[in-house]
Amino acid sequence: MTSTTRSRTPLDKAIEDVLNQGKCYGFIEDPDSESDWLNLTNYLNQNNRLNTVTEINLPTGIVFYHIASQNKNTPIYLFTPRATGKMTVTVDGKGSFIPDLKVNNTGSQQSLGDDFYELSFNVTAGTTYSVTLNKPLNASGLYNIVARVEKATPSPLTMPNLISEGDLITTGAAIDKKGDVYVWGFRGSAQQGNGKQNVNMKEKSQKVNGLSNAIQIVGGAYHLLALCITDSAKNSGDVWGWGQNLYGEAGSQATYVSTPQKVLSDAVQISAGEYCSAALDTSGRVWTWGHNAYGQLGNGSKKNSRVPVQVNLGGEVARLVGSAYEGGFAVTSQGHVWAWGDNEASGLGFKGTNYGVQQIITTPTRVTNLDQYADQIIYISGGNGWGEALLCDGTVIGWGLRASLGCGSPSTANSSDQPVVIMTGVRQLFARYVGSCALTEDGRIFTWGQTEGSAFRWIYGNEPTLHHTVDCPIKRIGGGKEHLFYETEDGKLYGVGYNDLYKLNQKQLGAPHIKWPGSEITLY
């Protein structure tokens, strides 16, 4: 591909890895190596892999950078990887040039022979790293540099999610500091998990029996799932399900599962739709179970399942899973997003029907509109006719029904499969049913979504709306179908939105909807 006399170089192999495997790589050319840049361009074109080489983010996921110099003869290169994993920098020394590779002024390079040098180190997506040669370029100069990021697969959870997420309607759930799960509010469909189908909703919050070391809690309309750690090194564990199980959503044979039952092992993430469930395991496989009338299980049928079924992602390895109201998403290490279920209003990311008109997709399908974002997604979810993702740089994007995406209008007549940027500077995102809640890097809460009906006008705004909260830094957010929760740094939990059956106001049945800054909720 260049004027080199070598029959095959590590650089050639690295390029082919990019093209064939779709990993997250960055190619960097020395500012003076224009001819080599053109050779690289010709190589890519001759292989018919790209339509253009003028884009910054090319279709294969390759990113080209042109970097300034520290001074004329000693370049400094900046990398901002789009994936977390192991990064390898390879330098072709071109003749007698021998670099002294350092990353953020540390590290020890390896000689590969034939003028090639390499340095490997661990990187985090969205973080910028400084790569220096620490040697002036000689007359022959630097041939080029290639940076390769071998992404961790699947991406483990980086922090426990101690507040329930999903579609719970009149039930609240959370995990305390010891890893125990507590449930309150409506518990008439075995949600308490203490061996009884009915627990008086007026009773205070109670601990779920038999669970420990929980790091994630999610729920559908009337069922719950917990992920409990069994392998701290992998941050993986067992998935437990309980509550209503009319369609198999709790992962058991009984109609009501009053004591948590183990559904799956070696899991790293769980998610739940209205009456369906999903999990991601340590091998990057996605499993689903429960209601399937709208293709929520992604197994090519509409038949419900009381046991986990594997989702076929065309041989790709998933690193992230998320649920929509009646569907699901998977993000793979190959840099793609897959979706299945109900695509009304283009909610799965494909051009679909109008809002209120279902379009069922039973087989997982690649969402090509999200290819340019796939390597950057760290959270993906959706509601009724729309979807959203949080990127590693704090940007929130959305697609589908514009009334739920904070685009400024409450009209449900507008929808599109094309993603739009909703806001930036976000640390955590919770998206479900008709709207979303975002916790920013500076600790503020914004919400947006539909504002007509139920408690929506007390929860959301037609565009990202800042809300007044209690006078304490906010640690995390969560919620259900028509309510939101947030936890403060001092360990207190507050609820906002649709309030019934002692869910938010734990002292009054059928109390009015709770407005911001919310009502404090007691676990003990």
Q: Is the pLDDT of residue 244 over 60?
A: yes
As given in the structure block, the two tokens for residue 56 are: 């910054």
Rounded-to-integer distance, Cα 519 and Cα 522, Å: 10
Mean per-residue pLDDT, 305-310: 98
Residue (of 315, 99, 81) closest to 90 by Cα position: 99
Orientation of helix 10-21 relative to helix 34-46, angle to 10° = 40
274-283 pLDDT, tens digit per residue, is: 999 999 999 9
Longest CA pairwise span in the chain (Å):
82
Where helices occur in 438-484 by DSSP H, the ranges are: 456-459
Residue type (1 letter), 516: W
CB 29 within 8 A of CB 66: yes
**What H or E segment, with its residue span, contains residue 42?**
helix 34-46
Rounded-to-integer distance, Cα 283 and Cα 385, Å: 30
CB 127 within 8 A of CB 81: yes
HEC-encoded secondary structure of 199-241: ECCCCCCEECCCCCCEEEEEECCCEEEEEEEEECCCCEEEEEE
Mean pLDDT over the full length of the chain: 81
Domain 24-150 indexed as CATH 2.60.40: yes
Q: Is the pLDDT of residue 181 over 80?
A: yes
Rounded-to-integer distance, Cα 225 and Cα 504, Å: 21
Percent share of the chain, pLDDT over 70: 76
HEC-encoded secondary structure of 283-313: CCCEEEEECCCCCCCCCCCCCCEEEEEECCC
**Quick count: other Cβ atoms within 10 Å of Cβ 465?**
16
CA-CA-CA-CA torsion for 400, 404, 405, 410, nearest 10 degrees? 110
As given in the structure block, the two tokens for residue 145 are: 């540099």
CB 143 within 8 A of CB 4: yes
**Residue 30 — pLDDT band, cuts 50, 70, 90?**
very low
465-517 pLDDT, tens digit per residue, is: 999 999 998 999 999 999 999 999 888 999 999 988 889 888 888 778 999 99
As given in the structure block, the two tokens for residue 201 are: 């909703």
Give the model's pLDDT for residue 399. 98
Cβ density class 483-514: b for 16+ within 10 Å, e for less: bbbbbbeeeebbbbbbbbbbbbbbeeeebebb
122-179 pLDDT, tens digit per residue, is: 776 556 667 777 666 544 445 456 666 665 444 444 445 588 999 999 999 999 988 9
As given in the structure block, the two tokens for residue 149 are: 């990021």
Q: Can you give the residue ranges of every domain in the chain?
A: 24-150
Give the model's pLDDT for residue 87. 76
Q: Is the pLDDT of residue 245 over 80?
A: yes
Q: Is the pTM of this model over 0.85?
A: no
Q: Is the pLDDT of residue 375 over 90?
A: no
Distance of CA 129 to the CA centre of its chain: 23
**Residue 265 — pLDDT band, cuts 50, 70, 90?**
very high
**Residue 70 — pLDDT band, cuts 50, 70, 90?**
very low
**What H or E segment, with its residue span, contains residue 318?**
strand 318-324
DSSP 83-126: S-EEEEEEEE-TTT-----EETTB---EEEETTEEEEEEEE-TT
Give the model's pLDDT for residue 153. 44
